[in-house]
Amino acid sequence: MNLFGVMDVSASALKAERVRAEVVASNMANAETTRTPEGGPYQRRHVVFEAEGGGSFQNSLMSQMSPMNQGMSDGLGGFDTGFGRMTNDLSSDVTASNGAPGGVAVTGVIADQSAPLRRYDPQHPDAGPDGFVAYPDINPLTEMTDLMGATRSYGMNASAVQAEKNMVGSSLDILK
């Protein structure tokens, strides 16, 4: 995975944070929803993030490093036979590094299992036999904080994409 692949890693983060923001928006929109197709009030949802390919980053890093070591051990700039230097020179650079290093994936959007809020309102169409209506237990402050966190992470990863683009642009300069 070269620098283009790194943009995939940051892109996965952007996607995940966007899903998180959507879930927050859904929660806030349904804060007073007492009736859902599944029956009962709306259950607060939250996202579960999981690191992708974790641990295999070690392998991909080491597979990148060890061919470099090969090139080093042949000596720097030495003119023995020339061929030996050259065959090791790039043979590694063309082999792929295995394993995608850690992006992030949304493994699920889980409904909260906490008990709903109950308010006494016998006139409400969804009132139970005891006169209580079940409302979702959604605290707008919690949701807003979550949204702010998602926004900040999104911004960070967006500037990471800019930085990666910048680096690719710099490497194009080598040939100028």
Partner 1 sequence: MMDAGTIAGVMQSAQGAAGADGFLDTAATAAANSAAVPFAGMFQTMVAQTSALDKKASQAVTGLLTGQGVEIHDAMIATQKADMAFELALQVRNKAVAAYQQMMGMQF
Partner 2 sequence: MDVMTATGDALNKYLDLTSEQMKLTASNMANVDTPGYKTEGFNFEQQFMQEMNGSADADFGAGAEVQDVDGLVARPDGNNVSMDREGMQMAKSQLQFRMGVELLKQQFTNVMDAIHAEAK
- Cα–Cα distances (Å) from 158 to 53, 109, 166, in that order, read 21, 23, 13
Please give the angle made by the CA atoms of 11, 14 and 16, to the nearest 5 degrees. Answer: 110
Q: With binding defined as CB under 8 A, does residue 152 bind partner 2?
A: yes
Distances from the Cα of 170 to the Cαs of 55, 165, 176, in angstroms? 29, 9, 10
Minimum separation from the CB atom of position 29 to partner 2 (A): 22
Kindly give the residue spans of alpha helices, DSSP state H, lying in 49-95. 56-73, 83-91
Place of tokens 């699920």: 108
> Are the CB atoms for 15 and 107 separated by under 8 Å?
no
- The item of partner 2, partner 1, none sharing an interface with residue 50, based on CB under 5 to 8 Å by kind, is partner 2
Binding string, residues 72-101; x marks residues near partner 1 by CB under 8 A: ----xxxx--xx--xx-xxx-xxxxx----
Of the ranges 23-31, 32-40, 128-136, 154-162, which one interacts with partner 2 (CB under 8 A)? 154-162
Which one of partner 1, partner 2, none interacts with residue 29, CB within 5 to 8 A by kind? Answer: none
Residues forming contacts to partner 2 in the complex (CB under 8 A) are 1-3, 5-6, 9-10, 12-13, 16-17, 20, 49-51, 54, 57-59, 61-62, 64-66, 68-73, 76-79, 82, 85, 101-104, 149-150, 152-153, 156-157, 159-160, 163-164, 166-167, 170-171, 173-174, 176
